[in-house]
Amino acid sequence: MKMIILAAGQGTRLRPLTNDKPKCMVEYNNKPIIDYILETAKVCNIKNIAIVNGYKQEVLEEYLKDQGCTFFTNTNFDKTNMVSTLFCAKEFMDDDLIISYADIIYKKEILQKLISSEEEFSVVVDKGWRELWSLRMDNPLDDAETLKIKDGNIIELGKKANSYDEIEGQYIGLIKISKNTINKVIAYYDSLDKKQLYDAKDYDNMYMTSLVQLIIDNLMNVKPVLINGGWIEIDSTEDLIAYKDYLI
């Protein structure tokens, strides 16, 4: 089992906290986000961890120099998005693989449940998302995205939601791809038309949800790993305030 943490972004909505360090080093309750992720991974016996950095990479590598992580760098972090960041670590992808965003904190039970999935491609889906979103905004629907499940498979995610009926949960930024499937996913991504737009984004700026939707539509079933809370996303200074007393 391996893990890739996607930590290339600038975290502009967390400024000035990210003026001199990457987003994943912003502190939540006096501890950097990346520490929570690494501690949870190690509790779940994931020891082979790669981090794809970009913004302030030298700060992050110095901070984690004794953690035994493998580092990859998205040198175009300011011109690309999450999918491009992921495939900077393509050579690391040769085992069952957990993919984690670097701006989320989650209980070990969530990671353990994902690890236990025996499906080819699994995505963590929070059924209790509205409680979390309600801490961040007056109208959760404004920021939520569609996620539809049929016959035990995710059939749609990542679109603008027009009603709560289109939201059976929220994607949280945690994925597992099986060892036997990873080469199919890499080959499929490499085969995509680099001149085409994907959900109005070019190939280099493709959203992760766009790639997952393409996989659903063209490659294989994607299974939800259902949870009910137990995590947070820290994307802005407002989030830090909203979650100050939130016990995950």
Question: What dihedral angle (degrees, nearest 10) is formed by the CA atoms of 141, 146, 150, 154?
Answer: -130
Q: Confidence class of residue 246 from pLDDT cuts 50, 70 and 90?
A: confident
Query: Is 187 within the bounds of a domain?
Result: yes
Query: Is 247 within the bounds of a domain?
Result: no
**What is the rounded radius of gyration, in angstroms, for the C-alpha atoms of the chain?**
17
Q: Kind and range of the H or E element at 187?
A: helix 182-191
Q: Kind and range of the H or E element at 209?
A: helix 208-218
State pLDDT tens for residues 133-177.
998 888 889 889 999 999 999 999 999 999 999 999 999 999 999
192 closest CA partner among 205, 203, 178, 183: 203
Statement: residue 17 has pLDDT above 70: yes
State pLDDT tens for residues 62-121.
999 999 999 999 999 999 999 999 999 999 999 999 999 999 999 999 999 999 999 999
Q: Are 129 and 224 in contact (CB under 8 A)?
A: no
Q: Are 123 and 29 in contact (CB under 8 A)?
A: no
In angstroms, rounded to a whole number, what is the distance separating the alpha carbons of residues 73 and 53? Answer: 5
Query: Is 115 within the bounds of a domain?
Result: yes
CB atoms within 10 A of CB 122: 23
Query: Is 68 within the bounds of a domain?
Result: yes
224 closest CA partner among 92, 124, 112: 124
Query: Is 248 within the bounds of a domain?
Result: no
Contacts of 245 (CB under 8 A, 6+ apart): none
Query: Is 17 within the bounds of a domain?
Result: yes
For Cα atoms 44, 50, 55, give the angle at the middle one, nearest 5 degrees: 125
Which pLDDT value is given to residue 207? 96
Domain of residue 108 covers 2-242
Report the number of distinct structural domains present in the chain.
1
Query: Is 149 within the bounds of a domain?
Result: yes
Share of the chain above pLDDT 70, in %: 99
Q: Which long-range contacts (CB under 8 A, 24 or more apart) does 156-159 make?
A: 156/213, 156/216, 157/123, 157/209, 157/212, 157/213, 158/199, 158/207, 158/209, 158/210, 158/212, 158/213, 159/199
State pLDDT tens for residues 189-242.
999 999 999 999 999 999 999 999 999 999 999 999 999 999 999 999 988 888
CATH of the domain at 199: 3.90.550.10
